Every structure is written in structure tokens, then in C-alpha cells.
Amino acid sequence: MLEAQAHLQLKTLLRQGASDWPHHLTLSRLVGRSLRRRDSTLIHLAPCSHERWWLGLLVPLCLGSREIALVVNAKQRRHLQQVELPKLHALGFRLPCWEGPQPPGDQTLWLMNTAELVEAYRNNSLGQRQLLLPQADQLTRRLRRDMAIRIQSTDWEQLRRAHPEADQALQQIHDRLTRRLFGQASRVDAQMRLDGGDPQALRDLLRVIGHCPEPWGALLKADPRQWASWAELDHSLLQWTWHLEPLEPLPLLPGLLNDRPALLLNSIGDTNRLQSELEEAGFHADVSASLKEPDLEEPLPLYAPRRQPLPNTEVFATHLLEQSRRLILGRAGLTMLLLDDRDLRRRLTSALAGEFGSRVMEESTAPDVNGVISARWSWWLQHQDRLPELDQLIIGLLPIASLECPLTSARVEVMKQQGRDWFRTLLLPEALSLLPAAMAPLRRSGGRLAVLDGRIRGRGWGEQVLQRLEPWVPLQRLLPD
């Protein structure tokens, strides 16, 4: 059997010191079994494993059928081409990889990104190839980004040139939208929801005038009920860009995950939310497995005082500064401070830099030994493997998505229309899903966690946050080192 062959080959390589990741043999057997049986498999990996799993994934591919589409992002593609494939070559393995919009003619591994996956799906080029999706937890976000539609000023001009008979009508709609957007903008960097009568009038006009250049054809195909629509304003030029993104991209690609076998790796640490999302898209795993790492079971020292102000109070910014200052004092290692509110983050960074000097930076991958980095949650999750060992993590704000984000507000509005609890069904689970991967480097280093968001103690759902952070031990007060 393929899994037995992969197991024996990999066991030999591991004896030669090919890798120190503890789950290679288990992963190779699971991958080999999925390839041999062509079933649907979901494998949960420990968060923040720095993608040490490549060898256990690739060895079965070298030995078995390669009628597979491997979907990776740009960083993974570079790592595969520059590190993993040369390593396999040195170990005596060959893994041909085909790249391009057209499918390979033989059993060669088809390497693609999510944009190419969508194109191949729409062109019916995938056939019955088995999909292999590392970081399946990122699939929805990446599909949403790659299926997005962007309409700029140059696109309006191109449309008017293509249909001069509708030039005046198009100009009137554009002018009305421009006046409304800039007139209602509350700040310079505002993102304004774009729906209502004028966008619908534009769609009606486009259907009348006939064939339109892209991206207008894509706009006509996008059902407003299933897409978020907003404008990004440029006050310096008095221009705006129209953004459209699907609320839930997988339902717009029916059959992508259930008309063919699929092997998915989830490395974010959250299982329930991903499984629910995949089941709604029609994916039902024939095999589901979880590979844990013992060092992620160590309890975190958690500082989360019971009486802290809520983020919407006037004193919260002062509280955040005072507590952050106390937490940073005396720490000899790297401190990461997480909050997504841009204005609050920059004010806090500036105030801390005034006291601690150049060791305080915003979203930098080259900190001092005792540096302090303030960052968004998404930045930390993306760059944590490029940073030194973490001594302390301070959560200024829990990663609850803001309703000021047009995409979030559109998704919430749909759930309200359905009568669903949008906070506990959408925003809270998405926030909780980020915690395991964000905490993983801290657990490995044995550092300290501090949560300064008063909602963790002051809201009923805060108990779910504490449960997701387990295991932890409470720090009742801060002591000098």
C-alpha cells in the first residue's frame, strides 16, 4: 500500500536527520491513505508549526499518483520551489510540478494559487483531480480576496468609450455616486457602503447597452445579495474605487470541494468553526485527524484583572497606556502588543515610544532584544515566524471585527435578516479561532500573556475567551523580575 511505502521511505529519511518534526510518519500515512483511496480528508495540525510538515506531505506524492492540484500561496510556492524540492532531489526523490492555466497532460502535480484554482474551476479544467489544500483555514479569506472585483476611474472611462451612446447616463450615475459618497464620508479614510438605487440603476443600464468590458461583466454577474459592496475614497484626487467581495465565496463555487476528492490541512488550531464552514459548502470528511504537539499544552501565566474598563469608555486609552507601561517595565525579552484599532494603536505606540524610546516600534520584523512591537492581529499571525522568541504578549483589544468594516457589516446585515445571533454565530467564533495560533509562540517560549480588554471579564461571552486560552494559570498581580 502507498501509506506503508511512504512510511518506510520516510522512516529511513528521518533516521538520517531529514527533519525533527514529530508527526511526519503519521502525516505521511494519512496522506498516503487519502491518495490511494481518493477520499476527502481533513487533518488538523498544531498551530504555528512553521510548516515543518512539508516532508511528510511530499514523500507520499513522490511515490503515488500525482493527479493532484496543490493549492498554495506565494510564500508557500517559493518555499516549495527553493527549499523542499531541492531537499527532495538531494534525498533521491523526484516530484514534477506543472504551473500554468492549462492542466498538465499526464500525472504531474499541478501547482496553483487560489486565483488559478477559481479560474480552473470556472473553465472545468480541474476534472477529477484531487485537491490538496495546505492552510485550509485560510481558504475562505483567500478566495474572497481573489474573487474580488475592483472598479477604478479608468474603468468608468473605458466603459464610456466603449458605449458613447450611454456616455451621458453613465456620467450622471457616476457624479451622483461621487457627490453622495464624499458628502456622507465622516473622515478622510472612510470606507462607504455602496448599495441602493444608483448601483442598481447602473446594473440596469449595463444590461440594456449590451456587452461590456471587464470588470463590468463581472459586476453584472455578481448578485448584490451575495456580495459586499463599498467605496474607498481618495480625497486628494476626489476619486473613489469600487470594491466588491463575496460574503461567502465557497457557496458561489458549488461542487468545488464535494465533486472531487480533497485533502485539507488546518493549521490554525480551531476545528469547530472550520468544519462548520466546510460542511455548509458541502464538504464532508471521510477521515478527520488531529496531530497535537505537547509543548502547546503548557499553561500560560495570564494577567487579566477583573475590574478593567471597556473599550468604549473614555478612560480605556489611559488604562491601556498605564497597564502596558507596567507590563513592559523590567522585561528583558520581546513584547508584542496586539490591537486592531489603528488610531488607538498609533497613539499608544507614540506614548510608549516617548517613554521607552526606539525599542518601541509598529509592525517591524527587526526589533531590539527587549523590543516592543505594536501590531494588528493579522500582521502578527503572518509574521510571527520571522520574529525572535516572544517574552510577553499583551492583548490590547480582542480581535472582534468592527462593524465599520463594510464586509463585516454586510455579512452581519444578512444574518440579521435571517434572524440569527450575528455576534455569537459570526463575530465571536471568528475572533476565537485566531487565539490558538496567536498564542502558540508564547506557549513555546514560556512567556507571559496579558489581556487588557475589559470585555474578557465584563461580558458573558468573555468566559468563552478564557476557555479558548486554556490551559492557563492566573497572575493576580505583577511582580518585578
The residue out of 272, 292, 312 marking a domain boundary is 292
Query: Would residue 228 count as lying in a domain?
Result: yes
C-alpha–C-alpha distance, residues 146 and 115, integer Å: 5
413/427 same-domain check: yes
Number of other CB atoms surrounding residue 449 within 10 Å? 21
Query: Would residue 398 count as lying in a domain?
Result: yes
Predicted pLDDT of residue 184: 87
C-alpha–C-alpha distance, residues 9 and 443, integer Å: 33
Query: Would residue 479 count as lying in a domain?
Result: no
Predicted pLDDT of residue 479: 60
The alpha carbon of 298 is separated from its chain's Cα centroid by a whole number of angstroms, namely: 26
Residue 270 has pLDDT above 70, yes or no: no
pLDDT in tens, 391-437: 999 999 999 999 999 999 999 999 999 999 999 999 999 999 999 88
**Pairing state between β 68-71 and 109-112:** parallel
134: preceding bond cis by omega (within 30 degrees): no
Instruction: Calculate ∠ Cα 186-190-192, nearest 5°.
Output: 95
Query: Would residue 429 count as lying in a domain?
Result: yes
226/346 same-domain check: no
454/331 same-domain check: yes
Query: Would residue 110 count as lying in a domain?
Result: yes
C-alpha–C-alpha distance, residues 132 and 45, integer Å: 15
Instruction: Calculate ∠ Cα 372-310-456, nearest 5°.
Output: 75
132/168 same-domain check: no
408/451 same-domain check: yes
Predicted pLDDT of residue 135: 86
Closest by CA to 351, choosing from 370, 325, 375, is 325
Which run of H or E residues covers position 281? none
Percent share of the chain, pLDDT over 70: 98
Query: Would residue 82 count as lying in a domain?
Result: yes
201/276 same-domain check: no
Query: Would residue 480 count as lying in a domain?
Result: no
The CA-atom distances, in angstroms, between 331 and each of 85, 328, 339, 346, 365 are 41, 6, 20, 22, 19
What's the whole-number average pLDDT of the chain?
A: 91
Closest by CA to 263, choosing from 129, 420, 110, is 129
- Give SS3 for 223: coil
Joined together, the cell numbers standing for residue 319 give 488604562
Joined together, the cell numbers standing for residue 235 give 480625497
165/272 same-domain check: no
Task: Indicate which CATH number applies to the domain containing 279.
Answer: 3.40.50.300
Query: Would residue 461 count as lying in a domain?
Result: yes
136/96 same-domain check: yes
Predicted pLDDT of residue 424: 94
314/448 same-domain check: yes
The residue out of 246, 261, 276 marking a domain boundary is 246
| Average pLDDT over every residue of 31-35 | 93
Quote the domain boundaries for residue 433.
Answer: 295-474
Tell me the pLDDT band of 72, cut-offs 50, 70 and 90.
very high
| Average pLDDT over every residue of 358-380 | 95
Strand order in the sheet with 287-291: 97-99, 109-112, 68-71, 130-133, 262-266, 41-45, 287-291
pLDDT in tens, 272-285: 778 878 888 888 88
pLDDT in tens, 335-365: 999 999 999 999 999 999 999 999 999 999 9
Tell me the pLDDT band of 295, cut-offs 50, 70 and 90.
low
Task: Report the number of distinct structural domains present in the chain.
Answer: 3
C-alpha–C-alpha distance, residues 70 and 80, integer Å: 11
CB 373 within 8 A of CB 395: no
230/89 same-domain check: no
Predicted structure pTM score: 0.90
Beta bridge pairs of residue 303: 450
- Give SS3 for 245: strand
286/301 same-domain check: no
277/361 same-domain check: no
174 conformational bin, left if phi > 0, alpha if psi -120 to 50, beta if neither? alpha
